[in-house]
Amino acid sequence: MYTPPFEITPKIINLISEISERIGEISIKKDLRLRKVSKIKTLTGTLKIEGIEADEKKVTAILEGKRVLATQREIAEIKGAVKLYENIDKFDYKSEKDLLKAHKILMKDILTNAGEYRKTNVGVGNQKEITHIAPPASNVSELMKDLFTWLNTTDLHPLIVSSVFHYEFEFIHPFIDGNGRIGRFWQTLILYKWKQVFEYLPVESLIYENQDEYYKAIEESTSVGNSTPFIEFMLDIILKTLNTPQVTPQATPQDEREKKIVEFCKTPRSRKEIAEYLGLKDRKHLKEILDRLIDKNLLQMTIPDKPTSPKQKYLSTF
């Protein structure tokens, strides 16, 4: 039986320990606004990595069923990703059939052979050079079968399993298009089945912010002949995601004024209402306090995309 080559290094052990500890400390907020923000970041990140013109405004509009000024291809790319992530709870990560189904959902309006393995040979790279020649198309079905056999029999930690699968999948490059998005989604799916909190962690957004290092880790793993560098990279990205303000444990307001604002804003309040409540006339000082509370993740805007909107209000995050 095929076993993907990799080494469990001290760095990997330490990262797993830190990630597990952080997961034990956090509880993803039940606020639907925060979940939506995370979802938008995830979708935008995984699309942008592929060079797709999908900013947060476009993704938000499509999520809300609004019209978007974009090409037909861009809209199809975004809609496919939205539908894929919306159905995350319906997939079995150990099922090869489900992986093909996921690809069909993602690419059905883009490829005529969505949900089918490629039948042509491909090279992977950037505009300047080919960095990886994927295995011949004739070998893809057997390679994917071997990978899923390993996935169904391994008892390794999900953090390792998901990273190994992600790398091996990208190495095989089984589809003519959509491999990056499916590989990242399948890692998220494996982790979601381990801890549901991963449905709301924008890991893909952090990958996009570290895109060069992401591809470098893939190339390095291919060069050394095992996925160890990629595992270390992905675990580091997951830990960084867990340490973002959106998911860190809530801080405690430092002074009485901040405490009053947080308590007062359990119901959405305008800046004027907050100023009157505090008896504060200095608008600049009030803005500094509100910005500080937002940075601490104690307060959120009800219209985050339009900070200066006259309809803007502030709401406590707990």
Sign of the alpha-carbon torsion through 267, 270, 273, 277: positive
Q: Which residues are catalytic?
A: 173
Which residue, among 11, 20, 5, has the nearest Cα to 159 in the 3D structure?
20
Sign of the alpha-carbon torsion through 259, 263, 266, 270: negative
CA atoms within 13 A on the CB side of 129: 3
**Separation between Cα atoms, residue 107 and residue 102, nearest integer Å:** 9
**Separation between Cα atoms, residue 6 and residue 277, nearest integer Å:** 60
Sign of the alpha-carbon torsion through 104, 106, 109, 112: negative
User: Known binding site for ATP: residues?
Assistant: 124-132, 177-184, 214-215
Amino acid symbol at 294: I
For residue 40, give every residue at least 6 positions away whose Cβ sits within 8 Å of its Cβ, in sequence order, or none: 56, 59, 60, 63
User: Known binding site: residues?
Assistant: 124-132, 177-184, 214-215
